[in-house]
Amino acid sequence: MTAPQRVMVVRCPGLCPPPGAGPGRGAARPFQRALAALAGFCPAVEVTEPGACAFAARGPARHAGGEAALAAKVVAALAGLGVGCRVGVADGLFAAACAARATEGDGTVHIVPPGQAAAFLARLPVSELGDPGLAGLLRRLGLRTLGDFAALPAGDVVGRFGAAGEAAHRLARGRDARQVTARPPDADLSVAWQFDPPEPLAEPVVFAAKALAERMHAGLAGRGLACARVRVQVGWAGGRESSRLWRHDGLLSAVQVADRVRWQLDGDQEAGPGDERADGGITVLRLVPDQVTRATGHQLALWGEPVVSDRAARAALQVQAMLGQHAVLRPLPQGGRNVSEQVTYVTFGIKRQPGLAGGREARPWPGRIPGAAPAVVYPEPPEAAVTDAAGRAVTVTGRCAVSAAPAALAIGGEPPRPVTGWAGPWPLSERWWDPAAASRRARFQLLTGDGRAWLAAVQGGRWLIEAGYL
Amino acid sequence: MPAVPPGAGLLPVLPALRDLLPGGGLARGTVVTVPEFGLLCLALAAGASAAGAWCAIAGIPEAGLAAATGLGLDPGRTLLVPGPGGSWPQVVASLLDGCELVMVRPPSGAPAHVTRRLGARLRRGHGVLLVAGDWPGAQVCLRVAGRDWTGLGRGHGRLRACRALVTAEGRGQAAGPRARWLWLPAEDGSVAVADPGLAPPAGIPALPAAATG
């Protein structure tokens, strides 16, 4: 094992967003200036979070005459821009970030000597791990400091807490969270194709993408690596650029990568100004593997996700290659008052959003239609005409009074069916606090002479068929 | 691999549907049709999914997944392709490679050469094709011959349960019509066998004695 990397973390508390908030717009510009100033010390500055950045300290420190001297220069440079900062230097990114947080105030520096990272971390609380769930669990187990946690045998930690626990345990012992992979992989493993003269058509570019993807895969496989995502960058002679990340997970074939290049070009054409000549054709296509990890077979099933069978995943990817990524969905049951809201759909292969955690279906949803769920839920409810015995349209007043008993139902342009049973109206007023999303509806269940039952809603004087009990 | 018993070459179905199908399950490599998409389609898929099979639903954007999960369909083992468009035969062929049960409603009539090619693909694999619509050469055709909802009055009540007469006809081993009264759905949202002693509701023809046996 090589000596751990010395890392300097520069933290600008004034530019950090408050916890829970997104990056502030006002802070973005001063932070950009701070980054530009730091680039004078080290060209490869990595932004770790809004308001904080890190870089390898060994080279710049040697140039500046020591880590303390370098830190002093950094503080002075940023102070010149009117930005207060705290600097931490230690072995590894995690220890350096903790050191920067452990400083006493703006303009101060905390340097953890080489080899002392584990001892420095041992005093800190487990909340420094940045995983509230794990930290809470550890506290309940009586492990209050990182030192307590680090003292556990690594094998037991893996057995009890899984891969995420192992990563946290490595951090607590002053090592990097993950085994060191071949570094720097990004620069080495990206592949590019120059088009000279610029290529005005998409087809030859897609063709080149296939050969390019084969080269990228060969480069990754030769080092025993796989990438979680691949970034496709396209440059035009007119200066326009298009860059997008695609999920890869080590599962895509070269043809499938080429398909993603095609979708990106198609999507750009739709979104862009549509004037191909102004762009002057494509000059460069680059594929950059992102989040490179060791190839350990396929990685669709990550921590906490249901395991996707290889065969089903391949079939889904095949269909995605034919129809586009968003053509294959997975259902995710969740609660809701309306039948159309009780299931959301996530694109296959996209990681679950934290907000779509599911499990909300068990909560009470007052106003929900009770009883069995309908088998047919129309994504776009068709309009219907509901008439009474005299042939007049049935209306509902603002106070939920029905003008007459429904006698006939005509869905879309179909011939009317006699209504043999009905119940309602069940009013539902949703999101009245938000004028754009507010909706007031009165729902009915209608039974027609052919034995079918329908869930209808009156909204703004129109009858819509939301679902069918078929 | 999911724990679907491969022994009999059958995909399991919900207990209430067993009597309707030859062998008591969906025979692998065959086509089963239901003329109109509805709860019956979802119930047929739910049993297989609950037993560990992967299911795909293609060309049916209005499929009510909440009802299906209530019947036992596992949403974690379900793929949806709402709009396969004109290339639906290729989509179905791809899905059959990865899923044990593929439910599809062909957007247009299925031409004979397409059904032949997909049929050949089916026989090579282990899947079941469940078609919501017409399919020449289907082994089993299930349909809802009549429905009788309870619980809804004129201006009061709510839909509680539906007693449905489900008939099955088929070829070869599946020949001979079968019919069962089912709760589709029962009051708790499940599918159950309804009491045959209840008189058939008005408007639904009584069954010939041979068919009910």
Structure tokens at A171: 């951090």
Is residue A198 within 8 Å of A282, Cβ to Cβ? Answer: yes
C-alpha span between B138 and A349 (Å, rounded)? 33
pLDDT of A144-175, one tens digit each?
A: 999 999 999 888 888 888 777 888 888 888 87
Question: A424's torsion region: left (phi>0), alpha (psi -120 to 50) or beta?
Answer: left
* Whole-number percent of chain B with pLDDT over 90: 54
- Please choose, from the candidates B63, B30, B80, the residue with its C-alpha nearest in 3D space to the C-alpha of residue A319: B80
Q: Name the residue of chain A whose CA is nearest to B157's CA.
A: A423
Within a 10 A sphere around the Cβ of B44, how many other Cβ atoms? 27
- The reply to whether A71 and A159 lie within a common domain is no
Residue A218 confidence class, pLDDT cut points 50, 70, 90: confident
Distant-in-sequence, close-in-space partners of A279: CB < 8 Å, separation ≥ 6: A236, A237, A238, A240, A272
pLDDT at A372 over 70: yes
Contact at CB, A423 and B156, closer than 8 angstroms: yes
Contact at CB, A323 and B83, closer than 8 angstroms: yes
Helix axes A67-80, A25-38, angle to 10 degrees: 130
- The reply to whether A228 and A159 lie within a common domain is no
Helix (H/G/I), strand (E/B), else coil: B143: strand
Determine the average pLDDT of the residues in A372-389.
Answer: 92
pLDDT of A192-210, one tens digit each?
A: 888 888 888 888 888 889 8
Highest mean pLDDT among A37-51, A125-139, A214-228: A125-139
**pLDDT reported for residue B63:** 94
- The reply to whether A14 and A116 lie within a common domain is yes
Q: Is residue A55 part of a domain?
A: yes
- The reply to whether A355 and A289 lie within a common domain is no
* CATH code of the domain containing A199: 3.30.1490.100
Closest CB from A322, A453, A467 relative to B149: A453
- Please choose, from the candidates B54, B66, B7, B57, the residue with its C-alpha nearest in 3D space to the C-alpha of residue B34: B57
Structure tokens at B6: 């491969």
pLDDT at B207 over 60: no
Q: Supply the DSSP symbol for B87.
A: G
Residues of CATH 3.40.50.300 domain(s) within chain B?
Answer: 10-132
Determine the average pLDDT of the residues in B122-139.
Answer: 89
Q: Name the residue of chain B whose CA is nearest to A369's CA.
A: B158
Residue B15 confidence class, pLDDT cut points 50, 70, 90: very high
pLDDT at A311 over 80: no
- The reply to whether A193 and A290 lie within a common domain is yes
> Of B37, B80, B121, which to mutate for an interface test with A (greatest number of A Cβ within 10 Å)?
B80
Residue A285, min C-alpha distance to chain B (Å): 30
C-alpha span between A248 and A289 (Å, rounded)? 9
- Please choose, from the candidates A167, A2, A13, the residue with its C-alpha nearest in 3D space to the C-alpha of residue A78: A13
Closest CB from B38, B65, B156 relative to A331: B65
Q: Which residues on B lie below 8 Å from A312 (Cβ)?
A: 54, 77, 79, 98-99
Q: Which domain holds residue A102?
A: 6-120
- The reply to whether A105 and A150 lie within a common domain is no
Q: Is residue A44 part of a domain?
A: yes
Residue B201 confidence class, pLDDT cut points 50, 70, 90: low
Of A30-44, A214-228, A299-313, A375-389, which gets the smallest average pLDDT?
Answer: A299-313
Closest CB from A322, A329, A339 relative to B82: A329
Determine the average pLDDT of the residues in A212-235.
Answer: 82
Contact at CB, B158 and A339, closer than 8 angstroms: no
Is residue A9 within 8 Å of A117, Cβ to Cβ? Answer: no
**pLDDT reported for residue A185:** 45
ipTM over 0.90: no
pLDDT at B200 over 80: no
Which one-letter amino acid corresponds to residue B113? H
Residue A299 confidence class, pLDDT cut points 50, 70, 90: very low
Helix (H/G/I), strand (E/B), else coil: B49: helix
pLDDT at A420 over 80: yes
Determine the average pLDDT of the residues in B111-131.
Answer: 88
Specify the higher pLDDT residue, B35 or A229. B35
- Characterize A137-147 residue by residue with b for buried, 16 or more Cβ atoms within 10 angstroms of its Cβ, and e for exposed: ebeeeebebbb
* Whole-number percent of chain A with pLDDT over 90: 21
For strands A462-469 and A439-448, give the pairing.
unpaired
Q: Which residues on A lie below 8 Å from B155 (Cβ)?
A: 405, 422-423
Distant-in-sequence, close-in-space partners of B120: CB < 8 Å, separation ≥ 6: none
pLDDT at B119 over 70: yes
- Please choose, from the candidates A345, A303, A298, the residue with its C-alpha nearest in 3D space to the C-alpha of residue A317: A298
Specify the higher pLDDT residue, A140 or A185. A140
C-alpha span between A269 and A275 (Å, rounded)? 9
Is residue A29 within 8 Å of A107, Cβ to Cβ? Answer: no
- The mean predicted confidence, pLDDT, of chain B is 85
**pLDDT reported for residue A226:** 75
Of A15-19, A238-242, A297-301, B117-121, which gets the smallest average pLDDT?
Answer: A297-301
- Characterize A325-363 residue by residue with b for buried, 16 or more Cβ atoms within 10 angstroms of its Cβ, and e for exposed: bebbbbbbbbebbbbbebbbbeebbeeeeeeeeeeeeee
C-alpha span between B204 and B200 (Å, rounded)? 7
Contact at CB, B87 and A333, closer than 8 angstroms: no
Contact at CB, B84 and A327, closer than 8 angstroms: yes
Helix axes A154-172, A132-140, angle to 10 degrees: 120
pLDDT at A2 over 60: no
Determine the average pLDDT of the residues in A36-47.
Answer: 76
- The mean predicted confidence, pLDDT, of chain A is 80
Of A23-27, A64-68, B207-211, which gets the smallest average pLDDT?
Answer: B207-211
> Of B44, B60, B81, B182, which to mutate for an interface test with A (greatest number of A Cβ within 10 Å)?
B81
Q: Is residue A306 part of a domain?
A: no
pLDDT at B26 over 80: yes
Within a 10 A sphere around the Cβ of A415, how many other Cβ atoms? 7
Q: Is residue A317 part of a domain?
A: no
Helix (H/G/I), strand (E/B), else coil: A426: strand
Residue A304 confidence class, pLDDT cut points 50, 70, 90: very low
pLDDT of A332-351, one tens digit each?
A: 888 788 888 888 888 887 75
**pLDDT reported for residue B91:** 92
Q: Which residues on B lie below 8 Å from A315 (Cβ)?
A: 56, 79, 94-99
The residue with tokens 């508390």 is A13
Is residue A357 within 8 Å of A367, Cβ to Cβ? Answer: no
Residue B11, min C-alpha distance to chain A (Å): 17
Q: Is residue A324 part of a domain?
A: no
**pLDDT reported for residue A186:** 44
> What's the total number of domains in chain A?
5
**pLDDT reported for residue B50:** 92
Contact at CB, B91 and A329, closer than 8 angstroms: no
- The reply to whether A14 and A113 lie within a common domain is yes
Specify the higher pLDDT residue, A308 or A23. A308
Specify the higher pLDDT residue, B49 or A202. B49
Question: A292's torsion region: left (phi>0), alpha (psi -120 to 50) or beta?
Answer: beta
Closest CB from A312, A348, A378 relative to B99: A312
Residue A272, min C-alpha distance to chain B (Å): 26
Q: Which residues on A lie below 8 Å from B78 (Cβ)?
A: 330-331
Residue A17 confidence class, pLDDT cut points 50, 70, 90: low
**pLDDT reported for residue B4:** 39
Instruction: Tell me phi and psi for residue A235, to 5 degrees.
Output: -120, 140
Read off the pTM.
Answer: 0.58
For the domain B10-132, what is the CATH superfamily, name and number? Answer: P-loop containing nucleotide triphosphate hydrolases (3.40.50.300)
Q: Is the peptide bond before A382 cis (omega within 30 degrees of 0)?
A: no
Contact at CB, B67 and A453, closer than 8 angstroms: no
Residue A188 confidence class, pLDDT cut points 50, 70, 90: low
For strands B101-104 and B140-152, give the pairing.
unpaired
Of A53-57, B82-86, B116-120, B184-188, which gets the smallest average pLDDT?
Answer: A53-57
Q: Is residue A178 part of a domain?
A: no
Helix (H/G/I), strand (E/B), else coil: A200: coil
**pLDDT reported for residue A351:** 59
C-alpha span between A168 and A150 (Å, rounded)? 9
Q: Is residue A305 part of a domain?
A: no
